[in-house]
Chains A and B, each alone.
Chain A
Amino acid sequence: MKRPPMLMRVRIQGKEENVNLWLPLFLLLPLMALLLPILLPLILLVVLVSRSIAWRRRMFFATLRPLASPHGIRAAVDLLCSTPGLQVAIVNRKERLYISVV
């Protein structure tokens, strides 16, 4: 059975900077899930009143409709729960980047 990601580690080692982040996704994801119903009307309002080209607005709503359906939500959750195990490592002369999702 898939489980949601618990932690995300981001490590950037450069000549001048060194970043080592442990993101507690087990805390952030529930928080985002709580905030989304509050933020969504605001996002919709911004999209409606913005001076974007009409087709972008049409695309936004055309994309949002299937994603907001139960099938879409299930697919999004499934996608999120498939991220544990993802690892990216890029090393060059200037810096090193490591991202891993546990």
Chain B
Amino acid sequence: MSESQKKILEMLGNKKISVDEAYRLLNALKDDTGGSESAPEATTRRPKARYLRVCVAPAQGHEHDADAELVNVRVPLSLIRSGIKFSSLLPPEARDKVSDTLHDKGIDLDMRNLKPEELEEIVEALADLQIDVVSDKEVVKVFIE
């Protein structure tokens, strides 16, 4: 409850204003705060993240190499959400096997720790994700759009 709202209710309690006047003042206050709150919201509001993009391109000077490869993958974030929910249905033995296989490939992702309840937090955290890996031969970019 804001200070202004408290003051209005105190004035109502002390019978300095009537119920109708208090109601009108509280509504006017709500309109004012609603207007001022929406302005910063409009400036900070960003388009909802929809896709995870992974782009791999050869580094400058290596575009014409024999093994140069261009990879462009666009994955809908809803697919990632659904995939995590779906993976929660896997039996524990299968999840352990998947985690072990990922670990062998150098990916430290434990399937047992992925919980559908924490999904929205993960996807929201991904919205700010931007990874740029530059090596001698290639450039890898992972970002959300």
**Chain A residues engaging chain B, CB cutoff 8 angstroms:** 2, 59, 62-63, 66-67, 71-72, 75-76, 78-79, 81-93
Contacts and interface: CB of A to CB of B under 8 A. Distances in A.
Nearest to B75: A86
A63 B71 contact: no
A82 B94 contact: no
Main secondary structure of the interface of B (DSSP, over half): mixed
Given A79-B86, A83-B79, A86-B75, 9 more contacts: A62-B93, A71-B89, A79-B82, A82-B82, A84-B76, A85-B76, A86-B74, A86-B76, A86-B79
Contacts of A59: 91, 93-94
Contacts, number: 72
B53 to A, nearest CB: 9
Contacts of A75: 82, 85-86, 89
Nearest to A58: B93
Interface string B65-83: 0111111111110110111
Contacts of B70: 89-92
B19 interface: no
Interface residues of B, number: 25
A85 B79 CA distance: 9
A16 B71 CA distance: 21
Given A79-B83, A82-B76, A86-B76, A93 B90 contact: no
A76 B69 contact: no
Interface in B80-111: 81-83, 85-86, 89-91, 93-94
Interface in B48-73: 50-51, 66-73
Contact of B67 (A2, A71, A92): A92
Contacts of A67: 89
Contacts of B76: 82-86
